[in-house]
Structure 1
Amino acid sequence: MENVNKSKKRKKRLSFFQHAKKEAKRGRYGKGSQLDDDTYQYFLRVMQIKPVDFETQEERNVFVNNVFAQLEGQEANCSFNQLASRVIENLIPWVEDEVLRNFGIKFCQDLRPICTDPFASHVLQTLVSNASSRSLSVDNSEQKSLQSLVLQICSYVLNNMEEFVWDTYANHIIRTCLECLSGIPSVSATGQNNSSQKSTLNDVSERTRVEREVPPEYKSLLREYVNRLILWPQLKEMSYDTLTSGLLQTVLYALRAVDEKLCKMFVKKLLNNCFLPGVGKSGECEDKKLPEDAQSIPELFYSEPAVRLMETAIAVSPTTKISTQFYAFIFIGRLIALSKDPLANFAVQRLLANCKCKVEFEAMFDEIADGFESIFSRGNIGVIVNLAQACVRLSTRQSQFIKNLMKALHCSDAEQNSLAYLVLGLVKHEDWKPNKEELSVQLNGSVLLQTMLKFNKPIKIVNSLMEMSASELKNIFCDPKGSHIMDAYMMSEYVGEKSRERMVRKLQGTYVALACSKHGSRALDAIWSAATMKQKLIIMDELAPKDAILNSNQFGHIISGKYGLSLYKYKAEDWKDVQGKEHRKKALFADIIGDVQKDSVK
């Protein structure tokens, strides 16, 4: 039976274009509004042509403008069709400003059905996002007309906000309008950010970064949105609903970028009306099971939308006082119980990441200190990582952190040489297999070790790394999750020159393997960037005899060219002169770029 299952090949999923073409052969012309066969086939042909493939901008403009000319009089009707809406979305970023303005004017003649349609709503999002970004360009001749278009759409959505917030598609249009009015990166509009860009926008500083200064009219309309929300009697209900919670998070990001005073007022409103114990939405905790030792857990932790909203509120809080209120009213006395919960622990992480008061953090640390092992056992390592990062940021409780971590990992002082191994694998000492070369490096374990290397006294971590064999270190640095440890080791101001020297010598015999590895080569690069001339000579003496192996490898070839391996092999003195000039140049600008090689720990 097992062989039969293996022999069954999984069918390859059809692309959107392939599926649309297949449906057309069956006489089905897409979901949504029905198009005639000729129009549908036309959009299929257009979808096959990618604007980026044109050699010149003039050819691209002719193609895109021609498509929008064909849409004239049918702008809205075509947008209600699944295929046509996808084509229009893809082409809007490439259309000329005047054509975009004309399309927008005709498209927005009747916005109500568009805002709640599963296909046309995405076209509207893309339209308002592109019109907004172009309206902020100072050299744009259509600036005023595009601003008017953006204000028209955003004003209409505001006037109908009471209805639109509860609709799946209209809700996301409101989010896009808020992002456009504040000038922050748009993650709601489709087609505006690829997956890698969206992942960077999880960072609050990136999420609230103003790409361009917005005009006063935009800010005024944004404030009107928020002032109406503050007065809503359903604000508490919105906080506990997945759809509307996401909208309120967008409001917070937009306000943080534009108006900190109003942001503070809105956060306080959420804290007092939605988050404080006893004011949560009833009926949300029927199936929720928190740890047995959880006592008087606020009801908001029973609801994921509410927790996510609170995390955002903590992250954008413009003053330390508000963050302190969150800690005092919601978290204090409950940190261990919350840290052990699969949902609530993320809120604790956000609280720790945004703590700016040393005294307040020390109180948090002291409360969590006794719960290291139970938190570790639950697998919520993110709490421990954020605790370590706060120890670095506020320069406090570092030695206590290491002591509590060793206790949680059942690692005694006599066994501290295994600490790095235990942290990387996130295993307790009794589960450690010292003869096992292949260590399974955990992401959180790697981040935790990197953070601890930034402690004022990371000597226990340094010594435990030095206790590993060269082969074990090589395997760690060739791992995608472990390669960044070398960056932290070589760049930490508290890892001294002697410790770096020990690492360079410890890795002798592995440099060729590191150079020929995708991730090992970047670890080698981290060593090279911080190495002295003496240390570089050790590395080059090992690489030079193996230049043929390096040059035949994709990554080794890059290392060989970057380090000047050929020059070193045949003209070593010339190579030393070149390297000497680079070191002198680096020393000359050390005061400007910062000297990261300080001998603080030997």
Structure 2
Amino acid sequence: MATDSDQLPPASQVGSNYAKNRNKKRKSAGKRFLQNAKGFGRKNSFGRGAELDQEEYSYFVGILEATTAISGVDDSEEFCTMANNVFEQINGKEIKTASNQLSSRVLENLLGYTDEQNLQHLMTQFGDNFRVVCCDKFASHVLQKALLVAMLRCSGALQPAKNGTGKKQKTDIAREVTYNLKQDFSVDHRKVCAKFVKKVAKFLLNNLEEFVWDSFGNYVTRQCIMNLAGIAELKMGKGESPEVRKLVVPEKWFKLIIEFCSRLLAWPQFSELPYSEFTSALLQSLLVALDRAEDKFQLLQLSEKLLASFLLEASEDEEESETEPTKKLPKVFHHDSSIRLLEVVLSVVDSDFLKNQLYKKLFQGNVIPLSQSRMTNFAIQKLLNNLSDKHILEVIFSELDEGIEEILKLGHTGIVAALAKACSRLSCQQGKFVKLLLDALHCSEATGEKLLTSVLKLMPPEVLVEQSSAPINLHGSIILQSVLDFNKPIKMVTAILDTKNDHLAKIFTDPKGSFVANAFIGSKFVGEKSREKLVRHLEGCYMDLALSLHGSHVLELLYETSSPSQKESIVRELAERLAQLNSKPWGKIINQKLRVDAYRQNPTQWKNARGTSGQQSVEKAQDGSRSGKKRK
């Protein structure tokens, strides 16, 4: 596997070979890491962790520069060539290389593109040094990546034919995952990968008492449990939630998940686990994995034991550190780690356990104080999002009768949004919700634009007078969307149609406000006449919508749901300012889809060509509104 020469190629040559003519936009985090790495090299400091010599360090700086240059480019062949060259160069030095901050990052970036021989060699080296690798600050990350790649390659042949296709991959890791799932690896290689996953799991099980408390070993254990369940979390951009892929994996792996659960349940110190950041995170991963494995018995066993831990009394020190609302509540509500664990329990347990155990023992009678606490209000949101019992929702409403205004003042608007979604989902308490919301916003008597703006921004009219430029609140948009899906949304429908068209167009061009149009058009409780009125009401503002990224999507929905005469009205208005329409990329898309330029050249021919598409337009509008909701 080693090359004929032990000399590494110059860094400048590496960069020029792989990054030539590549001036793609780089991610700021990766670029910052690269600049720091170069800075360390100039100071003769060759990375944290295991020490590299200057030549090795320069080589990996060059490789990192090359991978950064082609970041965002879907070119698996180029990545494969680079990956195999790198792994051949480090033959015999895998552990040391993985234990350096710079080179471990390079190995992580390229590991998924190695050929069968190089990956198997690395897995053999790691398998002989698991204890060292698991607890190393940098090598543990490479082990996690090797575990993920092995899981993907082993299970790739088990996936349905549609898996990983038909979607544009947004990130490098997403493209790497798809590559490993779809590549035609040999049967023997898939077996080796399966054995590696199982070997890692067995090692972690045998050393669980040690690795659960180790910061790096804990991360490896969590990923191993998730991978055994076929769950791959893909990192997205900064501030974005990770994309989760759920894959088909060998059923035998589920037995290993159960073994992890059994080992932890038998621990004498189990009741302490929810109250440590690392052990709480491990239990969260285990709950998600058991849910994915559909093992209801083990899930119930674990949930019952966790509930017993949650119900412990808080110590005096824990109560003194808390704010007034949550002082006297069970121990679970006094620690961030246990609250996050409770949120996961709420999302995976069955409805009976949630209703008869979690709700009655932890939440009943405590909804107001929990809603008013910064730490615990997310647990109330999770409870509402997973509630399936109308009676429980009625009881929660009785507790919240006097509390919604205070909750909004505290900025815990997610609770009100979750309450609105629960009312919509369970088809109950809808009228009462609208009354409580409008009373809390002091706009019960308001109409039209004033009412609409108060709900969207979740501010009373008297506050909006002083803060007219306040942005649309995300939860305000979600609340309005939910209300439009209520059985009788007439008050909000009327408010929208009574709002001045230019102000309404401004709302629909907003990233959060545009979803209101989706809900209006897609709701089965908004009448056909109201949808027609909305299209007519926005006359004169079609171009404003077309020139906006989000507004152009709304304009497409309006067009597809409108009558033939109204379609022509939309296109006619756009045709009058065709040059302006084409000045924006989304305006060009509108022009292509609606054939605005064709209308301008020959309106009669345009009408004849569009005359047979009426029914198809209605169906597209319904599909469009549904797909639009996914953007949330």
Task: Assess same fold via TM > 0.5.
Answer: yes
Task: State how far apart, in whole Å, the 1-side matches of 2:63 and 2:449 are.
Answer: 64
| Structure 1 counterpart of 2:458 | 426
Aligned match for 1:260, one of 296, 310, 322: 296
Kindly tell me: are residues 414 and 474 of structure 1, through their superposed partners in 2, closer, same or farther at Cα, counting changes over 3 Å?
closer
| Structure 1 counterpart of 2:356 | 324
Give yes or no for the alignment of 1:193 onto 2:235.
Answer: yes
Task: State how far apart, in whole Å, the 2-side matches of 1:595 and 1:283 are.
Answer: 52
| Structure 2 counterpart of 1:108 | 127
Kindly tell me: are residues 527 and 341 of structure 1, through their superposed partners in 2, closer, same or farther at Cα, counting changes over 3 Å?
same
Task: State how far apart, in whole Å, the 2-side matches of 1:105 and 1:567 are.
Answer: 64
The Cα offsets for residues 327-383 of structure 1, whole Å up to 9 and x where unpaired, read as: 111100111111111111110000000001122222222222221112112111111
Kindly tell me: are residues 114 and 198 of structure 1, through their superposed partners in 2, closer, same or farther at Cα, counting changes over 3 Å?
farther
Aligned-partner residue type, residue 514 of structure 2:
S
| Structure 1 counterpart of 2:534 | 503
Task: State how far apart, in whole Å, the 2-side matches of 1:529 and 1:343 are.
Answer: 45
Kindly tell me: are residues 55 and 471 of structure 1, through their superposed partners in 2, closer, same or farther at Cα, counting changes over 3 Å?
closer
| Structure 2 counterpart of 1:543 | 574
| Structure 2 counterpart of 1:399 | 431
Instruction: Write out aligned runs for 1:219-258 (5 A).
Output: 219-258=254-293
Kindly tell me: are residues 326 and 315 of structure 1, through their superposed partners in 2, closer, same or farther at Cα, counting changes over 3 Å?
same
Instruction: Write out aligned runs for 1:340-351 (5 A).
Output: 340-351=372-383
Task: State how far apart, in whole Å, the 2-side matches of 1:514 and 1:86 are.
Answer: 44
Give yes or no for the alignment of 1:140 onto 2:185.
Answer: yes
The Cα offsets for residues 192-211 of structure 1, whole Å up to 9 and x where unpaired, read as: 4323896154xxxxx5x631
Give yes or no for the alignment of 1:123 onto 2:142.
Answer: yes
Task: State how far apart, in whole Å, the 2-side matches of 1:431 and 1:71 are.
Answer: 64
Give yes or no for the alignment of 1:335 onto 2:370.
Answer: no
Aligned-partner residue type, residue 289 of structure 2:
A
317-326 vs 167-176, greater mean Cα deviation:
317-326
Aligned match for 1:99, one of 111, 115, 118: 118
- Secondary structure at 1:49 match in 2: helix
Kindly tell me: are residues 451 and 22 of structure 1, through their superposed partners in 2, closer, same or farther at Cα, counting changes over 3 Å?
same
Q: Would you say the 8 A contact 2:454–2:460 is kept in 1? A: yes
Aligned-partner residue type, residue 286 of structure 2:
V
Kindly tell me: are residues 55 and 547 of structure 1, through their superposed partners in 2, closer, same or farther at Cα, counting changes over 3 Å?
closer
Kindly tell me: are residues 416 and 228 of structure 1, through their superposed partners in 2, closer, same or farther at Cα, counting changes over 3 Å?
same
Task: State how far apart, in whole Å, the 2-side matches of 1:174 and 1:421 are.
Answer: 48
- Aligned-pair RMSD on alpha carbons? 2.7
Task: State how far apart, in whole Å, the 2-side matches of 1:197 and 1:529 are.
Answer: 34
| Structure 1 counterpart of 2:175 | none
Structure 1 unmatched runs, 5+: 1-11, 187-191, 202-206, 597-602
| Structure 2 counterpart of 1:216 | 251
Task: State how far apart, in whole Å, the 2-side matches of 1:480 and 1:268 are.
Answer: 42
Give yes or no for the alignment of 1:42 onto 2:54.
Answer: no
- Secondary structure at 1:185 match in 2: strand
Task: State how far apart, in whole Å, the 1-side matches of 2:601 and 2:61 are.
Answer: 60
Task: State how far apart, in whole Å, the 2-side matches of 1:295 and 1:155 are.
Answer: 43
Task: State how far apart, in whole Å, the 1-side matches of 2:236 and 2:607 are.
Answer: 44
The Cα offsets for residues 197-242 of structure 1, whole Å up to 9 and x where unpaired, read as: 96154xxxxx5x6312x22331111111110111112222110111
Task: State how far apart, in whole Å, the 2-side matches of 1:415 and 1:63 are.
Answer: 64
Kindly tell me: are residues 588 and 116 of structure 1, through their superposed partners in 2, closer, same or farther at Cα, counting changes over 3 Å?
closer
Task: State how far apart, in whole Å, the 2-side matches of 1:545 and 1:364 are.
Answer: 55
Task: State how far apart, in whole Å, the 2-side matches of 1:82 and 1:439 are.
Answer: 44
Aligned match for 1:271, one of 307, 310, 314: 307
Q: Would you say the 8 A contact 1:443–1:481 is kept in 2? A: yes
Give yes or no for the alignment of 1:153 onto 2:200.
Answer: yes
The Cα offsets for residues 373-427 of structure 1, whole Å up to 9 and x where unpaired, read as: 1211211111111101000001011111111111111123365773212111211
The Cα offsets for residues 503-539 of structure 1, whole Å up to 9 and x where unpaired, read as: 2222111111111122222222222232222332221
Aligned match for 1:73, one of 89, 92, 103: 92
- Secondary structure at 2:612 match in 1: helix
Task: State how far apart, in whole Å, the 1-side matches of 2:242 and 2:555 are.
Answer: 26
Aligned match for 1:566, one of 597, 604, 609: 597
1:56 shift after superposition:
7.2
- Secondary structure at 1:257 match in 2: helix
Aligned-partner residue type, residue 301 of structure 2:
M
Instruction: Write out aligned runs for 1:13-92 (5 A).
Output: 15-50=32-67, 60-92=79-111
- Secondary structure at 1:288 match in 2: coil
Q: Would you say the 8 A contact 2:560–2:618 is kept in 1? A: no
Give yes or no for the alignment of 1:472 onto 2:503.
Answer: yes
Could you state the TM-score of these two structures normalised by the residue count of structure 2?
0.84
Aligned residues: 567
1:428 shift after superposition:
1.2
Give yes or no for the alignment of 1:462 onto 2:493.
Answer: yes
Q: Would you say the 8 A contact 1:101–1:149 is kept in 2? A: no
1:55 shift after superposition:
9.7
Calculate percent identity across the aligned residue pairs. 36
Q: Would you say the 8 A contact 2:552–2:590 is kept in 1? A: yes
Kindly tell me: are residues 168 and 437 of structure 1, through their superposed partners in 2, closer, same or farther at Cα, counting changes over 3 Å?
closer
Task: State how far apart, in whole Å, the 2-side matches of 1:63 and 1:254 are.
Answer: 35
Aligned match for 2:231, one of 178, 184, 196: 184
1:279 shift after superposition:
4.6
